[in-house]
Structure 1
């Protein structure tokens, strides 16, 4: 129980930066949907899906590799840090330069004629993210959670500052005649450009701070360290791609797969903006998963030598499912007012019905992260390649088959189908090579009943707003009561025992 408390505490600290960052990113949707066009939102959705996908390629599993080798026996942690960072900086120079040079071709191919600068900025954003990955991982490994959170929060507020300055403040000053249209090269016809530029400036400005706090590295590539690290990380690259393939590829491909005039009065890019904006509403689930991941990954590795670690991993999984299913219901039943509050312009509400499906998809991604610990701690990362390959194939197939038929829901379904199959495969292989006593039947029950309750609450309509609100949210109480009824013995075991008089 003390280990679970420790993990919960670390999750809370890491979650401060992760949840704050993603929450503010989530809140920025209010600004974007208020001040930018649906076409600009479509561009934002597509380009940031590409960034998320390529970010995995640029880091290729090196964070997890760094944790594994830094906690391994007979290895100098300083040499591991130097080698990992040196390898990542070298590969970033190659990948970043290549993407920078290919920018004009990408702009034409992705239907952004004359906007090659968007993809040059993308190359720089990806490069800055990559060279910060290992220093941030080192702070996590050394339990410098406050420094980690502080740097992340500083980056967040820089990003917000530049976004608000460029999207709201400058246009206001121009309309008031305080500054002219061309002030510092400002262009009022830009939209997604200012989102990218804000991200670029914020990331670039924190590099010296993070490198200083984590410790500057010495360029060092020792074959004895780099070679096994490379072999360990490459399968993780494919596992990482699995984590973003469904979530991001669906958003990236949506506008290119959707038939012309599928939604009356909307271009494919505008429909992609609506799809992407509703995807953002489901990010509340991903906030929890990301915070959990930051704390759980080093925690899992450190606990791997304990003989009771399988039982601990099973408990962590069960608590994770309980909490996340409750969160899914809480969001879903309140979408009737959450949607209009965050998605400001008319038209975005047409995609709200896919949000519970997307929430379940994110939840299954979190389940997969829990399940995947078996091949990380047994050095069997090769299995991630095959599991990922199946998941990626399913994602692409579902998108191409169902988006032209069902539009928004076709894109959302790829989330559940992909991650459920990946979870199933990971569970079956894991129980064979590293058995963990998961409460499988009960976990599946909670997933199913919470999904049904989520859609029941979403579609429930009783007329009077107050009665409707109370009725919808009573489903949260119902689910809490069900958890208490089924888990009362476990809950009692967590409570402190009374001392006998």
Structure 2
């Protein structure tokens, strides 16, 4: 129980920063839908899908390799850090420079004529993100979750602040609505035709400001490339690179591919790029599940590696999975039954709610991604990372096939199903392969029951409509309370044992 408490505590700190950060970031949804055209949102969706894909190339699996070699290979952790950071730094500068130089042909290839600066800024974002990756990993490994969380949160606050300044404040100043004395100065540089441009520029500025703070906090880096240290790390990381490429195809590439798979005229009054913007905006409504998965991953990866030598770790990993499914399935139902209310709060323009019905599918997809993160520990601690490539590559193929076959038929729902089908495939493959090589006593039947019932309750609540807004709120959230009652009835023995353990500990103290 003490180890679970430690993991929960670390996840809570990462989770609080993620929740606060993502909540602040989430406030950009009404800003974007209110101030930017749907075409700009489509451009934003596609460009950030490309950035996410290339980010994997820039870091090439070195974060996980750093965790593994700094904890379980008998090497000095500082030496591992210096070599990993040096290699990532060298690759990031080289690839970033290459991307910067080829910005013009890339802008033409992706139909951003006359805007090579977008790809130059993307190169800067990618290079700085990569250079910060290993220092952030070092903070996680050393248990400095609070420092990690505060820096991540500061980065998000800066990013959001620049977005508000460029997209909202500068616009209203040039229109003469506010601070008229600044109008000549702001009008000299403000570009009203820039939308996605200011989003990328904000990201660049936030990254530049956070980088020196991180390097000051994580001191002691000296450039060093030691072949004896880096060669085995490279062999360990290479399959993770391909896993990451396949994984990011599963996670974000669907948003970039969506507009190309959607037939022209599928949605009246929406071009494929505008439909891509609607698709991307609704994707953000699954953010609550995404941030929980992210917070769990931040805490769980170093935790699992540190517990790798514990003889009771299979039982520990099984309990982590069980309570992870309970928590996340409850969150999914809570969000899904209130989606109509959430959509009204965050979509500040007409035409976005037409894709709302796809969000429960995305919530389940992200939940399954979290299940996969739990399952994947077996090949990481046994150094069988080659299986990660097989599994995620299969998931990537499923993603692309489902998008190309179902988006032309079902539109938004087809795009969401690509996420669900991908992660479901990966979970099944990882579970059966893992039980063969590293058996873990998961409560599989109960976990499947929770997943199935939560998905059913999510759509029941989503489609329930009495015709009265207030009555809808109570009926839909009644479904959520019913799900919590089901959990209590099925877990009452475990919950009683947990509360009794806590009570005994307090009494002993």
Of residues 275, 294, 298, the one that matches 2:298 is 294
The equivalent residue for 1:159 is 159
Q: Secondary structure at the match of 2:72?
A: coil
- 1:144-188, Cα deviation, whole Å (9 max, x unpaired): 122112211221221121111101111111111431386452211
The equivalent residue for 1:464 is 468
The equivalent residue for 2:455 is 451
The equivalent residue for 1:495 is 499
Pairwise mapping of residues 241-280 of structure 1 onto structure 2 (< 5 A)? Answer: 241-280=245-284
* Distance in 2 between residues matched to 1:466 and 1:406, nearest whole Å: 32
Pairwise mapping of residues 73-84 of structure 1 onto structure 2 (< 5 A)? Answer: 73-84=73-84
The equivalent residue for 2:480 is 476
Given that 1:174 and 1:181 are in contact with CA atoms closer than 8 Å, whether structure 2 keeps it comes out as no
Pairwise mapping of residues 78-477 of structure 1 onto structure 2 (< 5 A)? Answer: 78-176=78-176, 177=180, 178-180=182-184, 183=187, 185-477=189-481
- Worse overlay, 270-279 or 156-165: 156-165
- 1:232-261, Cα deviation, whole Å (9 max, x unpaired): 111111222343212211100111111111
* Distance in 2 between residues matched to 1:7 and 1:422, nearest whole Å: 24
Q: Secondary structure at the match of 1:215?
A: coil
* Distance in 2 between residues matched to 1:52 and 1:161, nearest whole Å: 22
Q: CA deviation at 1:464?
A: 1.6
Given that 1:56 and 1:240 are in contact with CA atoms closer than 8 Å, whether structure 2 keeps it comes out as yes
* Distance in 1 between residues matched to 2:459 and 2:122, nearest whole Å: 37
* Distance in 1 between residues matched to 2:456 and 2:242, nearest whole Å: 32
* Distance in 1 between residues matched to 2:410 and 2:150, nearest whole Å: 43
* Distance in 2 between residues matched to 1:78 and 1:350, nearest whole Å: 52
* Distance in 2 between residues matched to 1:391 and 1:184, nearest whole Å: 49
Q: CA deviation at 1:102?
A: 2.1
* Distance in 2 between residues matched to 1:425 and 1:209, nearest whole Å: 41
TM-score (norm 2): 0.96
Given that 1:243 and 1:365 are in contact with CA atoms closer than 8 Å, whether structure 2 keeps it comes out as no
Q: Secondary structure at the match of 1:189?
A: coil
RMSD: 1.3
Q: Secondary structure at the match of 1:495?
A: helix
* Distance in 2 between residues matched to 1:6 and 1:184, nearest whole Å: 54
Given that 1:135 and 1:215 are in contact with CA atoms closer than 8 Å, whether structure 2 keeps it comes out as no
- Worse overlay, 144-153 or 475-484: 144-153
Q: CA deviation at 1:463?
A: 1.3
* Distance in 1 between residues matched to 2:357 and 2:408, nearest whole Å: 17
Q: CA deviation at 1:20?
A: 2.0
The equivalent residue for 1:61 is 61
Q: CA deviation at 1:17?
A: 2.1
| CA distance 1:184–1:135, change in 2 (3 Å) | farther
| CA distance 1:181–1:42, change in 2 (3 Å) | farther
TM-score (norm 1): 0.98
The equivalent residue for 2:20 is 20
Q: Secondary structure at the match of 1:496?
A: helix
Given that 2:247 and 2:393 are in contact with CA atoms closer than 8 Å, whether structure 1 keeps it comes out as no
Q: CA deviation at 1:18?
A: 2.1
* Distance in 1 between residues matched to 2:188 and 2:130, nearest whole Å: 29
* Distance in 1 between residues matched to 2:382 and 2:321, nearest whole Å: 19
* Distance in 1 between residues matched to 2:480 and 2:265, nearest whole Å: 39
Given that 1:181 and 1:187 are in contact with CA atoms closer than 8 Å, whether structure 2 keeps it comes out as no
Given that 1:43 and 1:192 are in contact with CA atoms closer than 8 Å, whether structure 2 keeps it comes out as yes
Pairwise mapping of residues 29-68 of structure 1 onto structure 2 (< 5 A)? Answer: 29-68=29-68
| CA distance 1:18–1:184, change in 2 (3 Å) | farther
* Distance in 1 between residues matched to 2:62 and 2:73, nearest whole Å: 18
- 1:458-492, Cα deviation, whole Å (9 max, x unpaired): 00001121111100000111101110111111112
Q: Secondary structure at the match of 2:317?
A: helix
Q: Secondary structure at the match of 2:500?
A: coil
Given that 1:55 and 1:126 are in contact with CA atoms closer than 8 Å, whether structure 2 keeps it comes out as yes
Given that 2:365 and 2:420 are in contact with CA atoms closer than 8 Å, whether structure 1 keeps it comes out as yes
Q: CA deviation at 1:19?
A: 2.3
Aligned residues: 500
* Distance in 1 between residues matched to 2:280 and 2:229, nearest whole Å: 41
Given that 2:379 and 2:434 are in contact with CA atoms closer than 8 Å, whether structure 1 keeps it comes out as yes
- Worse overlay, 178-187 or 419-428: 178-187
